[in-house]
């Protein structure tokens, strides 16, 4: 069973899964098989750890249903940068720099020296995506708090393709103080990457809408809303949007740093 689909007890069919774990390559987690994790600090929340160092990632990804009154008083800090994105509902977030009420599409990035908190002051559940990673400092540069709503950012064509578009959450392309970025990518049905990417950067991706066919390593696999994928360094990757609606996902990428030897 999975707490996300409200299935309990025995299934009428044989057990099966689309989840795949290939350490050093990629991981796919479908929502049917994930479980709630008890994590200190998450009060009145149903939270699942998705990406983690246990699968080879240098970061941790989470999804959490924050019930009315649910909260966490400290995420990040002590060298850990952090990010929260509101998929649905409303949350109030706060760090040493800013306090804001976030609605659907709202987000906060908090630098490594500034933990942030959240609380659901509404009467409805909020559903959020959370990211944590140890910050890699660069002398003379530093990241800073960013609070905004991605719905206020216009789509831009992805590498010259009008049926594939993207948005950046952070100003990492212009500011070396940021060692990572979050993006949202949208493929119209039939749209695809311009080539199969193979690069040092890792990705953690949570799929928000639609369906697609993704090549990971040397296999084409179907993915859809609610799936999570971790892509390790140098794993070949690309996708096609399929079906009748846009294929949309949020994903992380490390950037702006040289290889450590």
Each domain of the chain, given as residue ranges in start order, spans 20-254
The answer to whether the beta carbons of residues 63 and 47 sit under 8 Å apart is yes
Superfamily of domain 20-254: Jelly Rolls (2.60.120.10)
Measured CA distances, 169 to 22, 104, 143, 147 (Å): 29, 14, 13, 9
Give me the pLDDT at residue 135, please: 98
Q: Is the pTM of this model over 0.85?
A: yes
Give me the pLDDT at residue 3, please: 76
Ordered per-residue pLDDT tens for the chain, 261 residues: 477 877 778 888 898 999 999 999 999 999 998 999 999 999 999 999 999 999 999 999 999 999 999 999 999 999 999 999 999 999 999 999 999 999 999 999 999 999 999 999 999 999 999 999 999 999 999 999 999 999 999 999 998 899 999 999 999 999 999 999 999 999 999 999 999 999 999 999 999 999 999 999 999 999 999 999 999 999 999 999 999 999 999 999 999 999 999
Dihedral sign for Cα atoms in the order 205, 211, 215, 217: positive
Give me the pLDDT at residue 101, please: 98
Show the CA angle centred on residue 247, arms to residues 223 and 213, nearest 5°: 35
The answer to whether the beta carbons of residues 104 and 150 sit under 8 Å apart is no
């Amino acid at each position: 069973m999975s707490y996300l689909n409200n299935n309990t007890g025995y299934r009428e069919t044989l057990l099966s899964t689309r989840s795949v774990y290939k350490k050093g390559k990629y991981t796919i987690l479908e929502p049917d098989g994930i479980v709630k994790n008890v994590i200190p600090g998450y009060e009145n929340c149903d939270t699942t750890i998705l990406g983690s160092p246990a699968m080879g990632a240098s970061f941790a990804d989470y999804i959490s249903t924050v019930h009315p009154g649910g909260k966490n008083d400290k995420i990040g800090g002590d060298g850990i940068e952090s990010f929260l994105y509101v998929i649905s509902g409303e949350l109030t977030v706060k760090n040493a720099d800013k306090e804001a009420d976030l609605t659907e599409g709202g987000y906060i990035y908090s630098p490594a020296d500034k933990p942030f908190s959240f609380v659901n002051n509404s009467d409805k559940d909020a559903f959020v995506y959370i990211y944590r990673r140890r910050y890699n400092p660069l002398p003379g540069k530093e990241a800073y708090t960013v609070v905004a709503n991605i719905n206020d950012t216009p789509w831009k064509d992805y590498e010259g393709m009008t049926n594939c578009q993207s948005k950046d959450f952070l100003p990492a392309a212009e500011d070396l103080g940021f060692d990572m970025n979050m993006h949202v990518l949208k493929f119209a049905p039939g749209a695809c990457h311009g080539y199969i990417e193979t690069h040092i950067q890792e990705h953690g991706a949570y799929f928000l809408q639609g369906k697609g066919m993704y090549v990971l390593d040397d296999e084409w696999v179907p993915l859809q809303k609610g799936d999570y994928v971790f892509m390790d360094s140098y794993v070949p990757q690309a996708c096609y949007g399929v079906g009748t609606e846009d294929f949309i996902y949020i994903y992380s990428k490390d950037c702006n740093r040289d290889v450590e030897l």
